[in-house]
Each structure stands twice: as C-alpha cells, then as structure tokens.
Chain A
Amino acid sequence: KNEVEQSPQNLTAQEGEFITINCSYSVGISALHWLQQHPGGGIVSLFMLSSGKKKHGRLIATINIQEKHSSLHITASHPRDSAVYICAVRPLTGTASKLTFGTGTRLQVTL
C-alpha cells in the first residue's frame, strides 16, 4: 500500500463545475503539498499545509491531521485547470527533506 493515496485517479468535469480531489496518507507528517503538473512535465507548487485551510484564487486546500486526509477544491473550473494534481507529504520520521508523492489525479475540464 502506498503511503500516499489519491482519488480519483482520473476526473473529467465540465467548465464551471466544483471539483474535489482527495489525498489520504498513512504516516505522521510535518507538511502536505499540493502540486500541479502540466503536460510536458513542469510542476508548480500550489499549497503547503500543516493544518487548517488555505485559499488562493479559485483553489482551496484543506487538511485534517487527525484523519490523515487532505482535499483540494477547484471552484468554477476552467479548461486551463486541466492538469495532473499531485499530493505529496513530508513524513515526520526519516530525512526531513524527503517528500513522498501520490500518483496524481488527472483532471480534464471540458467546455
């Protein structure tokens, strides 16, 4: 079992829909990251969370440390949001620098 599980693996939505991507992890963490990867490989860091909720534009990320779960929400989705969204955690044990990644959620937003 992977330490970081994401769901769904693939998601298709129509423009304007509210989107939720989930991330569950099995280890104690010091931080959780949400990343966006466009075709061609470029990765952009969206959020780094250790508790509560963060908002940036149409993106909202929440984390529940007790339940070891985080969600990424996209409001009023747009075709330009189409990308792979990756959850990554920084475990409490082991090397502090090491991120463990989920396999990603591929989102396609259609007109």
Chain B
Amino acid sequence: GAGVSQSPRYKVAKRGQDVALRCDPISGHVSLFWYQQALGQGPEFLTYFQNEAQLDKSGLPSDRFFAERPEGSVSTLKIQRTQQEDSAVYLCASSLLEQETQYFGPGTRLLVL
C-alpha cells in the first residue's frame, strides 16, 4: 500500500523566496505531523494536525512558517522569505490516531542559498 509521500524531494531556493512543501499522508490517517531536521541532528517538532484542525503549532520557528491541511488529508508547509537557517530536511509523518505509531515520509531537503 502507499505510504506517506512528500514533494518535492529536493528544493533549492534563493534567500527571500517563498517555498511550499507538500505532504500526502496515508489514507485515513487522522494525525499529521511536520518535523524539521537539521544536518546531524534529530528531528524537531514543528506542528500537528488532527484532521483539518491545527492543534499544536508551538514548534514553528517564526511567523514565516505556515502550515495547513484544509480538507484533513494533504498538508502544505509554507515558508515565506526563506533564510539560510531554514535549510534542513522537512519530514512529514502521519498516524491513524494521535498516540499511535507514526509513519514518516521520505522528507524534503531544502537548501536556501
């Protein structure tokens, strides 16, 4: 069966550009998570959705980061006016219910020049 997919897999952006990263969770999964992973570090929580509701966005590093999941399935993480420190792998994960096993996508590697 299909797992979590993310697109694009790689993105190079010039400083100041806006980027949009897409996540397609496993069909029927209620919970969706976004994480940021800097080189050589473990992932760090960004935000969490239960269906279309964004229940926790405490990990978003600044107001340049915005996430949505309007129909409770596909989610988009948008970064406005990208900065070099935004360079990282952005991981999406979904789970059937909130506290169950999370299934991770392959990530989007963002490089801001």
Which A residues have a C-beta under 8 Å from some C-beta of B? 4, 30-31, 33, 35, 40-45, 48, 86, 88, 90, 95-104
Of the four ranges (under 10, 10 to 19, 20 to 34, 35 or more), the interface on chain B belongs to 20 to 34
Is the beta-carbon distance between B89 and A41 smaller than 8 angstroms? yes
Summed over the interface, the residue pairs from A and B with CB atoms below 8 Å come to a total of 66
B43 and chain A: residue at smallest CB distance: A101
Q: Which residues of A contact B103 (CB under 8 A)?
A: 45
B7 contacts partner chain A, Cβ-Cβ < 8 Å: no
Is the beta-carbon distance between B48 and A98 smaller than 8 angstroms? yes
CB distance from A91 to the nearest CB of B (A): 11
Is the beta-carbon distance between A99 and B45 smaller than 8 angstroms? yes
Q: A41-B109, A95-B55 are in contact. Are A103 and B99 (CB under 8 A)?
A: no
Q: How far is the CA of A43 from the CA of B31 in the complex (A)?
A: 17
Q: A40-B106, A41-B91, A44-B104 are in contact. Are A96 and B98 (CB under 8 A)?
A: yes
A90 and chain B: residue at smallest CB distance: B99
Q: Which residues of A contact B50 (CB under 8 A)?
A: 97
Would you give 8 A-B contacts (Cβ < 8 Å), ordered by A?
A44-B104, A45-B103, A88-B43, A99-B43, A101-B42, A101-B43, A101-B44, A102-B42
